[in-house]
Amino acid sequence: MQLHSTALLSLTIAAALRILARTWRLRLHDEAGLLDRSKPGTPVIWVLWHNRIIVIPIVYERFFRHRPGVVLISRSRDGGILAGCIERFGGVPVRGSSSRGGASALRELQRRIAEGWDAYITPDGPKGPRYSVSPGALWLGKASGAALMPVSIECSSCWRLGRWDGFIIPKPFAKVEVTLRPPHQVPPGLDEDSVKGEQERLRGLLMSHTGLH
């Protein structure tokens, strides 16, 4: 019964999101060069804040269906709803987090990257703190050799949900700006002593383009 209700809720949310997104003034700034189909489609790891993830299915469906994508989603009930939405936009969810199934999820992401897939990670998810960076994306970048691509998403007006991440939903007719920053490689010599410095570097890249209104 719960699986049925989760699937129904995912379907409803996906349909509502499509209707809402048709009103957005969405602009994609591709500093990473991912839209250039003349270049080899080298896999990258998309890194973005958890509270902005609702825009990504729309961006993927409109611009990047030619690049298969896999998304790290928690094993919580909310994660199940989000995973169902991701599937309806053409993405593939991999279920896991730092507290449940994280190691196996990262191995699956690594396998997908080796097959040519992009991976999508929210480094402060699924429980925060908001705008913190867990080391998972860094270890995945080191293990897979894929570059990390910071993604900023800002909107002119939004609803902000009263939960730990301040989840953002752009309002009808909002201007939504999505910027793909130039990817960067994780240092091959990354170890336990240097990972904190890389976490701060990645957080700084993300925060430099994050509006806190």
Closest CA to 187 of 203, 198, 200: 198
End-to-end CA distance of the chain: 40
Question: How many secondary structure helices (H) and strands (E) does the chain include?
Answer: 6, 9
Q: How much is the average pLDDT of 87-115?
A: 85
pLDDT at 36: 85
State the average pLDDT for the chain. Answer: 90
What pLDDT, on the 0 to 100 scale, is given for residue 40? 65
- Indicate whether 53 belongs to any domain: yes
- Report pLDDT digits (tens) over 146-171: 999 999 999 999 999 998 999 999 99
In a domain, 34, yes or no: yes
Report residue 184 as tokens.
């960067």
CATH number of residue 162's parent domain = 3.40.1130.10
Kindly state the average pLDDT of the residues 53-77: 92
Residue 89's alpha-carbon distances to 2, 19, 24, 60, 108, in angstroms, are 22, 13, 17, 8, 20
pLDDT of residue 213: 46
Strands of the 25-30 sheet, one edge to the other: 25-30, 175-180, 147-155, 44-47, 118-121, 69-73, 92-95
Please indicate, yes or no, if residue 212 is contained in any of the structural domains.
Answer: no
- The stretches of 48-169 forming alpha helices (DSSP H) are 56-63, 77-88, 102-114, 136-144
Confidence (pTM):
0.92
What's the confidence (pLDDT) of residue 212? Answer: 58
**pLDDT for res 80:** 85
Asked if residue 152 belongs to a domain, the reply is: yes
Domains: count for the chain? 1
Residue 14 burial class via C-beta count within 10 angstroms: exposed 0-12, middle 13-18, buried 19 and up: middle
- Which residue range(s) make up the domain with 52? 2-207
pLDDT at 79: 82
For residue 213, being part of any structural domain is answered with no
What is the average per-residue pLDDT within 62-82?
88
Specify the residue for token string 């080796």: 114
| For the chain, the helix, strand and coil percentages under 3-state DSSP, each to the nearest 5 | 40, 20, 40
Q: What is the pLDDT of residue 1?
A: 44
pLDDT tens for residues 79-91? 888 889 999 999 9
Q: Which of 189, 178, 192, 143 is nearest to 31 (CA)?
A: 178
Task: Give residue 39's pLDDT band: very low, low, confident or very high (50, 70, 90).
Answer: low
